[in-house]
Structures are given as structure tokens and as C-alpha cells.
Structure 1
Amino acid sequence: MYRLLVIAVLVIQYLCTSLVSAQETSAPAQSSQGIFQAPVILDGSQLFLLRGVTGLPAERRALRVHERLVQVATASDSATVDIEKRKERFGYVIYADGVEILTVTQADASLEKIDIELLTDVQAKVINDAILTYRSERSDEARIEGAIYAMGWTLAFALFTFLGALLRRFLNTRITKLVHRNLAEVESATKAHVRADAIAALIRFGISFILLVIFFLGVYYYLSFVLLSFAETRYVAQLLLTYVTRPVLNIVLGFINYLPNLVTLLIIAAVTQYIIRGLRIFFEAVEAGSFEIGNFERHWVIPTFNLIRAALILIALVFSFPYIPGSESAAFQGLTILVGAMLSLGSNSVMNNLISGLFVIYRRSTSIGDRIQIGDHLGDVVEIKLMETHLRSTKNELISIPNAQLLNSEVVNYTKHSESSGVILHTTVGIGYEEPAEKVEAMLIEAARRTDGLRMRPEPFVLWTALADYAVNYEINAHTTRGSNIPRIKSELHRNIFDVFTENGVQIMTPSYEADPEVPKIPTEKWSGKLAHEASKADQA
């Protein structure tokens, strides 16, 4: 806190130095209907405006008057000023304690739209009061009073800093205790996925930031009030207060003027939230089975609700757009166009997957829980999102497939219609030409009968798929309603085919068959030994 105070003091000191140098010059000339004029400023107070001419610009003329006023005011500490007005060639000349201060011309009177003598009297009175005020504010009494005020503001700021430090320490301790107490159960239930310390640190950071902003505002206004206590720095204090107070007031007034639009936005938000809440209740009832909507499938509930909610939010944003602050400005509209262009140019693949996701959800070909095959990927559908579909493979791998690929690829669904007639599971074996076809077909059907998970109604059947060079390719086909267990069922079918062919002394051909060896290629006896015994016990279990 001390370091922040030192930095703030150095910054304000730099600003004060710059502004004090600016005080020695008059304000920049202003143009009013083509006439250049500049104000005469003494101790931050504007006395009057002076018109400029070609040979004597308004700024230089105002600066000269300022220098002469300071000269007369500092030359004496008298409580009176000898003001004298003389009519000369170019107008009336005002003297203060014998020093020429200002020449009031007819052009000045025309600018003020009053008589020249009246203007001379008014400006003479202003000059007299300004000199007396300048002297009184630099008297010993005024300096003592200013020092007392500065000391009072210093004590108040010290108390403000002390209370701020205590408040910060109290809030940090209190927030830590509250977060740990309220999130203790959550942290233990989620096995440290939610860190109470991290949440408390985040809240403490927000509180510290707010207190830091308040502290800097306190430093700013403290220095401004201290500078107001002395005549030499009062002009700087007025500028400092203007730089901060005016923007703050503009923000407050802007917020007050914006209140009707804010109320409209709140009404739009409340109505939209109320409608969305009603739709949520309705779709939850549909999902629970309380309402039935024709052929509306249950897994459509959440996507449909999300789509309708997104549409309602977009409609609410369209209605709210005219009431958003700055929506009518060219910068806001340009930013909106830029964002739209960036989205349209950079989101082609995103929109493609998004639209594809809608087709995947509503086209009825794939549902959550189905076992499907897409290219080389085989697995169960665990989640269908707008952008991608998640599969869990038979090896328990999570596969993410973009919906555009899912929509444009051939999808084999092993589950969709397996509950009625079932899916036809098939496999092919090559058997030599010397084996009778009826024998081979009977052995394949017997292997299918032994396989758990294959249906006997409709009956399994065999197709001849090819007459190869060394063998006939027989394809066994059987129905199954267990689409999610096809890999296991197919593996068991292959094992049963091997067992049946071995039992009947028929060897299955290899792809590169040249001649029959002297020793048969099929097992002549069953596997025996310790491992076979353990395997048999495991099968029985």
C-alpha cells in the first residue's frame, strides 16, 4: 500500500508540474463567428474575454493582462486597489495602482454588445476584485488556514488508508473461511476437482482490484483537496478535479438517461427466460413420457429444446439491439459487420458440421446406443452432438467423428433393425473340391447351431460365394438380434467352425495351397495338459 501511495504521489507531482507551467499561459484562443478571443485567467478563475487583432492576437493580449495583474497584486499587500479609468485615442485605459492593465476598445464593446463605458466599468470592477482576492489568498492568515485544511485532509486520508487495509485483510480472511466452509462437501465429493483455494483466490483478487480502484480514487481526490488549500496550486487542483469528476458525472448521468432502455432490456430478458423455462418443463415432461407427440423420438428432446432456446435467444437479441448502448454508433455497427465477416469466412467447416449434426440427429438412421460401423471404426454411439458424434469402440476407445463425415459416409447399423428379424452375421471358409458339398454345408450349419447368440428361426443357410483355384468358398449366414455382441458372436462362430471341421476330419484351405502334405493339417487329438485343464475349468465357470 505504501509503494502504491508513493507511485501515485509521483504521478500527481508530474501532472502538477505540467499544469503549473500551463497556468502561466492563457487558455487557447476561441473562435466565435469568425472572431478570435481568449480568456484572462487568474488563479484558475476566468475574469473576462479579450478580442484579438492582426497585430496583437487574443492569446498574447490575454497573457499581457495576466502578467500585469500578477505584477500589481504582488507589488503590495494593501487591502485596497487604486483603480483609474482614462479615455484615450483607442478607447478607455484601466490603471491599477498606476500600472496600465487593459485598454477597452470599441471592438470589445461590440463583441460584448454593450456600451464601451459600461464595459469599462464592469472590467474595472472585475480587475479590482481579482487583485484583492489574489492578495487575500496569499496572506499569512490564508496560508495558515490552508495548512490546517491540508493537515485535516492528510489525517482523513491516513484514516482512509488504514481502514482500507483493515477491510482488505478482514475480507480476505472472511472470504477464505466462507469458501472453504461452503465448498468443503463439493471438494470432497468431486475428489479435488473443485479447489476451494482457487475459488477463494479468485474472489480475493476481485475484491483487491475493487479496493485498489477505490484507493487510487482516494489518492486522487486527497491530492486535489490538498492542492485546493493553497492559492498557488488551486488552479492545478481544479484541473485535476475536472479531469476525473466530469467523466464520472458523465457516466452517472449517462446511466441515469439509459435507465428506460435498461428497463426494456430487463423486460425482454425476463420474458425470454420465462418462455424458455416453460419450454424446459414441457420437454422434460415429453422425455419422461407424460406427453406423446406422434413419432417424436425421445432422444430428440434435448437437441430440439436447445435449438428452440437458441432461436428464442436470437430473437430476443434482435429486439434488444436498438436498446444496447452505442448500437447506433458507426463504430458498433462496423464491429458487428467485421464479426459477421469473420464468422462467415472462417466457419465454413464449423457450419458444415453443425448442419450435418442436425441431419444426423433427426434422420433416424443412428441413435444413442446403436452399434455402427463408419469406415474402419466400429463402436457404440454414446453421444450425438451438433458438431461431432462420439463412439465407444469394442476396445473401449472413445472415437470422435465429425458429423459431416458421418453424414457423407456409409454407416452400417447393427442395432437399428436387429430387434425384429435380426442382423445376418456371416463368415466365409474355403474347403477343397474333394469334400462333398452337403457335408460342408451340414458342418457349417452345425457350427452355427452351437454358437450362442445366433437364431435358429429363420434357419441358418449357406451360400457358395466363389469357385477358387483350390477350394470352394462357402458362406454361412445366420440371424442374430444381439447387434452389440457381433464381435464376440463371430469369434465364437469361428471357433465352432474349427471344432466341427476338426471333429469330422475336414481341413480348411489356406490362401496359398499347393498340395496335401503327408501329415494331416488338422489336429488328431484334443489338447491336453495343465493349461487345457485350467482352460476347461474356466469355461465351466
Structure 2
Amino acid sequence: MRFLYKYLQRLKLLLSALLLITILSTAGQAQDTPAEPSDADAAGSEVFKAPVIIDGDPLFFLRGSSALPANERAERVQNRIIEIAESSESLNVEITYRDSELGTEILADGVVVSVATEADAELDQMEIDIISVLQGDAIREAIVTYRANRSDEARVSGAIEAAGWTFGFAVFIVLILWLHRRIRRRTLEIVQSYLKDVETVTAKSVQAEAIAALIRYGLNFILLILFFLGFYYYLSFVLLSFAETRYFAQLLLTYLTDPVLLIFRGIISYIPNLIMLALITWITLYIIRGMRVFFDAVEAGSFEMRDFERHWINPTFNIARVVVVLIALVFAVPYIPGSDSAAFQGLTILVGAMLSLGANSVVSNMLAGLFVIYRRSTSIGDRIQIGDHIGDVVQIKLMETHLKSIKNELISIPNSQLMNSDVVNFSKKTDGSGLLLHTTVGIGYEEPPEKIEAMLIEAAHRTKSIKTKPEPFVLWTALADYAINYQINGYTTRGSIIPKIKSDLHRNIVAVFNENNVQIMTPSYIADPPEPKIPTEGWDGHLAHEDDGDEKA
């Protein structure tokens, strides 16, 4: 029974540590905020209250005045109780009462310890006789407990208890070290067994060692927190085993337990908001999943939408998803902890200012990307020309558009540039005739124009990718100083290979003109050369050289 009583006393001290948190906070608020003056305090003096604490155990509250503040009065009573308790080792304490001008004096072993006043009775809303008896009983118990905790038997018991806590802490450290080694050995094996198929599919782009290292880091961090908590409470319980250090142990428990209890109470009080956030999240995910099913049906063709192009599906889904998430955030913000605080509001203003000042180009590119996606002038697969860049559109993103050039180069063009530049689309058909391909040659005035036009049309007919209907035609673009500029025009429906068509057309023009012994005067003409500049003999695959080592012909 004595053993059980001893540990019930320890439990009482632990509970008193928690009570001390409330008492200290209450006392601090009472000292910071003056109480409202009552009828007895007509002079307007400020009135406070403070607890009498012995070995961390609060006994009762005392009321102060402007002449004697409550904390000074409580400290005097504490010192008298300790002096009386240290003056003897007897566990029998005689408490007597005596009336005085100030109130009822409380004596312990014939020494005045405290005076119960009418102000104290008013504080607890009791009669002064009852208050004096209750304070006397608390003083007797405090003195008896103080002497019992400092006896030789109590010190031996405290040492045994501290040794028990030390042994338990040693076992705790051994367990932590064992878990640390176990985590190091087993984490990689478990991760490799679960991610074996993932590594095979992704060609080992997901490395098990890296994932195991991250998991080990997280588990070791948890072990470090547990070790810190274990050491902190071990030190507190060891100090709690001895009466001389019990007050410091209660302070240690107060400093750690107060934040933990505050967090725990915050979590408990936040559960309704957490349920509401979970409900908003579930509804949002359900709506997004439903939109995904709808757009998959549109992409598969099971659900038709008039004038809705296929390459709009993913961008439209992404935009709708962002809108749904933003609406969900509007509903969720009031349930986020601290959302109504000035700090949270200042943070949102700061983020908004940063986005507005530093993301102008990003926002412009995003808006331009939306216009590029939905304006129908450019689609994936089209051959387009933007400035000096010609290529096929392979991807239209929210920020940029990717082209694959005719040289198989990947060109990334910001959407803002795409919006502000002239775009030539070779793939879009404006009518049934196709694209009008053209090139210009300059021929001297001595050649008959009808002959030149016929040769150019013949060259166009020899070019396979130029259509025969509508017929190619020739325009006179300029009457230059030494030549007439003839422009051959032909229709084609193969806009994706325009460079190849032009190359074939130029080759055929040269061939036809050579066959008819007509010189092309482009780019300029000064005078007739002594010899014709057209080949007079067929190509034999070899170059002619002078025998004497002169320059090449």
C-alpha cells in the first residue's frame, strides 16, 4: 500500500505540473490586466491575485493590493512555510487560528504563516472562517509533504526511482539503435521487392536506392524526434524523483507539455474543419474524374460535339480542371487554419503582388496559348512559317508551341511571339485549288515572250507535285533594265513539301531553258558573253581540265 501511495503522489505531481500551466497563464493575465474596481476599492487601487506554490504544487490564491502586490504576498507565505518545514523533521504539524485587525491569522507550530483577509474571502466568495480553515489545511499538508519528501527514506526511494528511469532510458536507446540498423538493412530490400516491376517498365529510370534513401531519411528523422522526446522526459522524470529538483522538473514538463497539449487541442478542435476540407476535396476529385470520363468519350467519338476539334480536348479538360480547383479553393480557404488571421491575409497579398509584378510575360504567354489553341488558324500537324522558321506543328502548349523544322530540328516558339507575328499556314485550304507556288526568272528582251511563257509552263508540267488543273500561268512582274521578269505560278496541294517542289521546279526550268538554248539573265546582266553560258554537250559525269595545269574551264 505504501508503494502504491508513493506512485500516486508522483502522479499527483505530474498532474500538478499541468495545472501549473493554467495557473501561471492566469496569474500572468491577472498581472497584465487590472481587475475592475469593486465597492471596497473606491480609491481605484489595482487588485491582483497570485498562487502560493510549494515544490511546484499550488496551495491557494492570495489577493493583493497596491501597497502589497499579490506576488510579493504569496512569496512571503511560501518562504514562511519552507522555513517552518525545514525547522523540524516531525510529520505532526499543529495549525491554530487567531483573530487580528487584518483578518484571521493562520499559525503553524505557533508561527504566523499567513493572514486570511476579507479580500481573500471575497475572491473565493466564501466566509472568512471557511477560507482560513481551508488555507490552514493546505499549509499543514504542504509542510508534512515537504518534510516527508526530504527524509532519508524518500531520498533512497528517489534514487531507486531515478535508477529505474535510467535503466528504462538505456533500454529505449538500445531499441532506437536497433531500429536504426534494422531500417538501414531492410528498407532497400523492401523497396526493391515492391518496385522491381516499376524499374523494369521504366528501364530503371526509377532507382530503388534513391527511393530507399528517402524513406530511410524520413524514418530516421522520426527516430530522432522520438529520441529527443525520450531524453527530455527521462531528464524530467529523474529530476522529479528528488524533492530539491522537482520544481525544475515540473518546469521542463511545462515547457514541452504546454506546446504539445496546445497542438493536440488544436487538432481536436480542427477535426470539424478537417472533415469539411476532406468533403470538399472528395467532391472536387469526383467532379474532375467525371470530366475526364466525359472528355475521354469525346475523344473516342462516342459523344459528338459540333465544331469541337480533337486537339482541343486535353487543353479544355485542363482549363476546366483548373477552374474547378479554384472554385474548390474559394470554398476551402475559410476552413484552413489561420485563414482569418492578419498574417495569412498579408501572405495572400504578398503572393498576389509577386505574381502581378513578376509574371507578366508568363501570363501573356498563357493567354496567347489559349488564343493559339482555340482560334483554329493553327492545328497540330500543320506546316507553318513564323518569321524565318518553317516547320510542322507537333505540340501546342499553354506557354509555347513546338515546331519540327524541315531539317528535323525542334523549334520552341513562345505563344506571345506566335500571336504577334505573321503566320503562314501551308496546310490550311482556303479553297479547292490549293496553294499557289511561284518563282521568278529574268530573260532578255531579245527572246520571244510567247516562247518563254511556253517553256516556263512546260517546266511546271514536268514538276510532279504541281497540278495540271488549274493550269499553271505566267505573270510579268517587272520590266527590268536588261531583262523581263517572268513569274511562273502553279497550284499544289502538298504544302508540307514546298521546298522540294520548288527545288524540282527550278531544276526543270534550267533543263527546259538549256534544251532551247535560252540564257537566264537572273540575277543581273551586263553584256553578251563571247560564248554561250549554256551547256552545248551532254553531261558525262566528269570535269574537263587543261593539260598544261591552267585554271579550270
Which of 394, 402, 411 aligns to 2:423? It is: 411
* Letter aligned with residue 156 of structure 1: G
SS in 1 for 2:392: strand
SS in 2 for 1:455: coil
Structure 1: stretches of 5+ with no match in the other structure: 1-26, 533-541
Name the residue aligned to 2:301.
289
CA distance in 2, matches of 1:503, 1:190: 61
Q: Is the 8 A contact 2:456 2:474 kept in 1?
A: yes
After TM superposition, where is structure 1 displaced by more than 6 Å over at least 4 residues in a row? none
1:342 matched to 2:354? The reply is: yes
CA distance in 2, matches of 1:54, 1:293: 84
Give the superposed CA RMSD: 2.4
Which of 365, 383, 394 aligns to 1:382? It is: 394
Which of 482, 497, 502 aligns to 1:490? It is: 502
Count of residue pairs the alignment pairs up: 506
Q: Is the 8 A contact 2:405 2:411 kept in 1?
A: yes
Q: 1:258 to 1:112 in 2, by over 3 A?
A: closer
Name the residue aligned to 1:402.
414
CA distance in 2, matches of 1:246, 1:403: 56
Name the residue aligned to 2:6.
none
1:165 matched to 2:177? The reply is: yes
CA distance in 2, matches of 1:194, 1:488: 44
* Letter aligned with residue 229 of structure 1: S
Q: Is the 8 A contact 2:102 2:117 kept in 1?
A: yes
SS in 2 for 1:163: helix
1:453 matched to 2:465? The reply is: yes
CA offset at residue 191 of structure 1? 4.3
Name the residue aligned to 2:225.
213
Q: Is the 8 A contact 2:291 2:317 kept in 1?
A: yes
Q: Is the 8 A contact 2:169 2:230 kept in 1?
A: yes
CA distance in 2, matches of 1:523, 1:194: 65
CA distance in 1, matches of 2:289, 2:66: 74
SS in 1 for 2:287: helix
* Letter aligned with residue 169 of structure 1: R
Report the TM-score when normalising by structure 2.
0.85
Structure 2: stretches of 5+ with no match in the other structure: 1-26, 37-45, 545-553
Written as runs of structure 1 = structure 2, the 5 A alignment for 1:21-40 is 30=31, 31-33=34-36, 34-40=46-52
Name the residue aligned to 1:266.
278
Name the residue aligned to 1:183.
195
Name the residue aligned to 1:18.
none
Q: Which moved more, 1:322-331 or 1:421-430?
A: 322-331
Q: Is the 8 A contact 2:401 2:413 kept in 1?
A: yes
Report the TM-score when normalising by structure 1.
0.87
* Letter aligned with residue 447 of structure 2: E
CA offset at residue 65 of structure 1? 1.9
Deviations 1:128-147 (A, max 9, x none): 11111011111122122222
Name the residue aligned to 2:262.
250
CA distance in 1, matches of 2:310, 2:299: 6
CA offset at residue 529 of structure 1? 3.8
1:204 matched to 2:207? The reply is: no
1:87 matched to 2:99? The reply is: yes
Q: 1:530 to 1:134 in 2, by over 3 A?
A: farther
Deviations 1:358-396 (A, max 9, x none): 221111111000000111111110111122211111122
Q: 1:91 to 1:191 in 2, by over 3 A?
A: same
CA offset at residue 412 of structure 1? 0.5
Q: Is the 8 A contact 1:36 1:58 kept in 2?
A: yes
Q: 1:182 to 1:516 in 2, by over 3 A?
A: farther
Written as runs of structure 1 = structure 2, the 5 A alignment for 1:34-113 is 34-113=46-125
Aligned-pair identity in percent equals 64
Written as runs of structure 1 = structure 2, the 5 A alignment for 1:217-232 is 217-232=229-244
Name the residue aligned to 1:520.
532
Which of 289, 292, 300 aligns to 1:277? It is: 289
Q: Is the 8 A contact 1:371 1:381 kept in 2?
A: yes
CA distance in 2, matches of 1:60, 1:252: 35
Name the residue aligned to 2:368.
356
* Letter aligned with residue 92 of structure 2: T
